[in-house]
Amino acid sequence: MQRPCMARRLLLALALTATAGLVVGDPNDWVNVNYILQQSSSGNTANARQSILNKASGTAKSGPWSVTTKNNVVPPSGDVHDYLSWAPYHWPDCNWCSKGTNHLAGPNSGNDTDTDPGDDGGGDGSFGGDDPYEDGGGDDDDAYELSVLNNLSVLSRRGAAHHGGAAHHRMVRRRRSIPHDIPVRVAPARRQESDAPSATTDLLGGLLPTDGDLPIPTSAPDTGDLPYPGTSSTQSTVKTINGTPAPAQAPAKTKASKCTPSPAKALAPSATWTTCPYVVRDGKVNPDVRTLPDSPAAVDMSQSVLYNAVAYGMGKTKVYSQNVVKFIDAFFLTPATAMNPNMNYGQQVRGPGKDHQIGTFTGILDLRGIVKVVNAIQVLKAAASPDWTAARDKAMTSWMKSYTSWLQNSALGKQTASKANNHLTFYVNQLAAAQMYTGDTQGAQNTLKNYFTNQFLDQIAASGEQPFEAVRTRPYHYRCFNLEAMITNAKLGDQMGLNFWTAKSKYGATIQTALDFVMGLDPKGEDISDIFPHVAAIAAAYGDPKGKYAGFLQQKESDYASQPFWFYDQSAALPNSPAGGHAKHRRDDQGSVLATPANTTGALGAEGVHGAGKMAAQTLDTVSAASVAFECPAIFALSKETELEDGLFVSCDQLRPFYTMLSNVDPGAL
């Protein structure tokens, strides 16, 4: 039993090192700029505002942040200014040929993971809040444990209870291909600390495998019963957010051989990065992705920047605006530490060959906090902060224009724009916010309108279910995650005078319908706190005549009024929402919208998409799933499957049960 104890200590060391200094970020969000300046003394939100002040000061102690601190692992370009992260759900599948000696075990040992079925093991160190490494949620489905074998760490799966398994088995894994607009070089390159960093977007090539201080897991957990398809071709729809046709998905690849030739001598654990193929395990975070610092740096920076900007907007205390400027300078503008305006190496899937020398479309998600950065700067500008100078604004505008161009024109950006699930919804967050910042208000409005009149139409079933998220292995989390992005898109529109709160899917459902559906679900071991900010936001936007939202929060999160989201999510902050149109600036007199039936209205028709302030005191229409004929989502017009995560595909037939259900009973549980 000595070996399992050592394994647990190694896992704990890995988790503690990865979480040191980590800011647990709030959900992606947008706070109305004028509201911040006008509601700084509202008694109803006093505790929430104090929490924001505390968090502004507390998070600032860990700043500034930069992507140039790479822990000796550089992106394939060789440029430390390029953002780098690894795909969190991908695991090495070495499958060494049994003859010879491999670096995991010994002669003729194949794929031994030294599993001890009797040991329950432990979790992977789940984060609350917005975990930067895994789409914002914890990995609660399975338990894993590091075991030690020949002084190398091997990750072995422990048989914890698995929920959502039925949905998991509906999805199909595929190999990936390289976007054609990112030149790479397969030969590895090692970072030299003496090299002068260059803040350019030149792609110089070379992936660095290096040995870290911590053991790196080198074996994937059991991949379950997911089928591995043979050679086939798939194409994604050409419908995109901005009207630019997206590239078709490349033909799927088959495994080159049944096993990987065993190395002649022992290899460092990091050698698996370029030697072994990696396979996707949806919802299972590979712990070694936490050793890369860029993802937490982006989350920490954007969260602290927003806290400090809101704090400055409320009280005009200069230390807060100085913090914002310092952190933005370090992350985006200072030549020695600035991030290049691209996500070419976000969520890179490791493995042999040039196809694994670039990022994936899922990597764009890592920079979703750019919405908070834009929000923060707009607050400083509206508050006339002397710290946000014209020169600084010009430099940031240039960065944002370059990033906007990359989002719209790069192969990875176009690929993300062609998706139908949360990756697309968060992509819209980023693109619209960046366009707003550069002064392209019309472009930002069009980006949002195109989303709400295209992909949004298929994202919510009549019941409120979100089929593209429900099919995942952690459906509760992903439903909340896409809600987060949908709400942010509606808030961005609200800031520009547009009402997207009343937009309806083709089945008559609104964002409120989706929230109500999730509220009625059993999280089944997933983190129920994912939904709390969304409940407050929907109550603020639509009202709460029967007190169901207030009751839910009081029962599940009794101190909700002390959370930052309670200040952000008031009807006065959403002037173009159904409830906001009736409750502008009346919160102090009448109390919270959660407790004020008079403030309640329901969803309107689709006409709200195209104009601001078109309110009506009507309740949300209840649409029966049986009253709207099912049709495959538009994403399947040119392809039988669509990609949810890199290498993870789903078909229309697999999603159909989630559209035709009449209640919030998960078809995956039937």
What is the domain partition of the chain in residue ranges? Answer: 22-94+268-418, 428-584+631-669
b/e string for 197-213 if b means 16 or more Cβ within 10 A? eebeeebbbbbbbbeee
Read off the tokens for 551.
Answer: 């009751």
What pLDDT score does 669 carry? 47
Report for 507-516, 577-586, 611-620: range of highest mean pLDDT = 507-516
Q: How would you classify the pairing of strands 172-173 and 648-651?
A: antiparallel
**How high is the pLDDT of residue 39?**
86
pLDDT score of 68 more than 90? yes
* Closest to 92 in 3D by CA, of 156, 17, 10, 142: 156
**347 closest CA partner among 37, 51, 132, 61:** 132
Q: Identify the residue with better confidence: 12 or 205.
A: 12
The span from the CA of 474 to the CA of 480, in Å, is: 10
pLDDT at 420 over 90: yes
Query: Which candidate, 83, 27, 135, 86, places its Cα nearest to that of 423?
Result: 135
Lowest mean pLDDT among 128-142, 231-245, 640-654: 231-245
Residue 387 has pLDDT above 60, yes or no: yes
How confident is the model over 302-327, as a mean pLDDT?
Answer: 98
Task: Tell whether the model's pLDDT for residue 152 goes beyond 80.
Answer: no
Percent of the chain scoring above 90 in pLDDT: 57
When pLDDT is averaged across residues 376-386 and rounded to a whole number, the result is 99
Between residues 550 and 18, the one the model is more confident about: 550
Average pLDDT over residues 503-513: 98
Whether 633 has a pLDDT exceeding 70, the answer reads yes
Superfamily grouping for domain 22-94+268-418: Chondroitin AC/alginate lyase (1.50.10.100)
Distance CA 285, CA 292 (A): 13
Specify the pTM: 0.75
Q: What is the reported pLDDT for 41? A: 72
Spatial separation of the C-alpha atoms in residues 660 and 169, rounded to whole Å: 20
User: What pLDDT, on the 0 to 100 scale, is given for residue 615?
Assistant: 32
Instruction: Check whether 593 has a pLDDT greater than 70.
Output: no
Predicted local distance difference test score (pLDDT) of residue 584: 54
Dig out the tokens for 309 from the structure.
């900007």
Instruction: Grade residue 258 by pLDDT with cuts at 50, 70 and 90.
Output: low
Q: In what order do the strands lie in the sheet with 641-645?
A: 172-173, 648-651, 641-645
Give the span between the Cα atoms of 655 and 507, in whole angstroms: 15
Give the H/E segment covering residue 470: helix 467-470
State the burial class of residue 224 (Cβ atoms within 10 Å of its Cβ: 0-12, 13-18, 19+). Answer: middle
| Pair of tokens at residue 491 | 């808030």
Question: What does the buried/exposed string (b/e) look like for 315-326 if buried means 16 or more CB atoms within 10 Å of the residue's CB?
Answer: eeeeebbbbbbb
C-beta of residue 434 within 8 angstroms of C-beta of residue 403 = yes
**Total number of residues shown for the chain:** 670
- Give CA–CA dist 198/82, Å, rounded: 10
Task: Look at residue 176 in the predicted model and tell me its pLDDT.
Answer: 56
What pLDDT score was predicted for residue 342?
99
The pLDDT value recorded for residue 135 is 60
Position 573 pLDDT exceeds 60: yes
Amino acid identity at 94: C
Question: What is the model's pLDDT at position 247?
Answer: 34
| pLDDT of residue 233 exceeding 90 | no
Q: Give pLDDT, residue 262.
A: 65
The whole-chain average pLDDT of the chain stands at 75
Q: Residue 224 — pLDDT band, cuts 50, 70, 90?
A: very low
Min mean pLDDT across 395-399, 417-421, 484-488, 666-670 is at 666-670
* Cα dihedral: 411, 414, 415, 420 (round 10): 170
Number of Cα atoms under 13 Å in the Cβ half of residue 142: 21
